[in-house]
Amino acid sequence: MVRTLALAGIFLLVLAGILALVERLGGRGLLSRFGHLPGDIVIRKPGMIFAFPLVSGLLLSLVLSVVLSLLFALFRR
pLDDT tens per residue across span 35-73? 777 888 989 999 998 988 898 889 889 988 998 888 888
Pairwise pLDDT comparison (77 vs 37), residue with the higher score: 37
Alpha-carbon distance 57 to 45, whole Å?
23
- The answer to whether 7 and 15 are in contact (CB under 8 A) is no
Query: What spatial distance separates the first Cα and last Cα of the chain, rounded to whole Å?
Result: 12
pLDDT surpasses 70 at 32: no
Distance CA 48, CA 57 (A): 22
- Average pLDDT on 6-29 reads 78
Q: Say if residue 24's pLDDT is above 70.
A: yes
pTM score: 0.56
- With vertex at residue 16, the alpha carbon angle to CA 69 and CA 9, rounded to the nearest 5 degrees, is 45
**Residue 47: domain span:** 2-76
Number of domains observed in the structure of the chain: 1
Model pLDDT, residue 46: 95
